Amino acid sequence: MIIVVLYVDDVIFTGNDDYFIENSKTIMKEEFEMTDMSLLRYFLGIEVEQNGNEIFISQAKYVNEVLERFNMQESKAAITPTVMELKLSKEDNSKDFDPSLYKSIVGSFMYLTDTKLDIMYAVSLICRFMKRLKEADWQAAKRTLRYVKGTKRFGILYIVSKCSDLIGYTDSDWAGSVDDQKNTSDYVFHMGSGAISWASKK
Residue ranges per structural domain of the chain: 2-57, 60-201
Q: What is the maximal distance between C-alpha atoms in the chain?
A: 64
Q: Which helix (H) or strand (E) holds 24?
A: helix 18-31
b/e burial code for range 48-72 (CB count within 10 A of at least 16 → b) = eeeeeeebbbbbeebbeebbeeeeb
pLDDT in tens, 101-135: 888 988 999 999 999 999 999 998 888 777 677 78
Closest CA to 132 of 104, 101, 91: 91
How many Å from the N-terminal Cα to the C-terminal Cα in the chain? 37
pLDDT mean values, one per 10 residues, the chain (202 residues): 80 81 85 84 89 91 94 92 74 73 89 93 84 79 94 92 87 76 88 89 87
Over residues 39-53, the pLDDT tens digits come to: 888 888 899 998 888
**Alpha helices (H) along 47-126:** 60-69, 99-112, 120-126
Mean pLDDT of the chain: 86
The pairing of beta strand 54-58 with beta strand 155-159: antiparallel
pTM over 0.85: no
Cβ atoms of 119 and 81 within 8 Å: the answer is: yes
- CA-nearest of 177, 73, 72 to 121 is 177
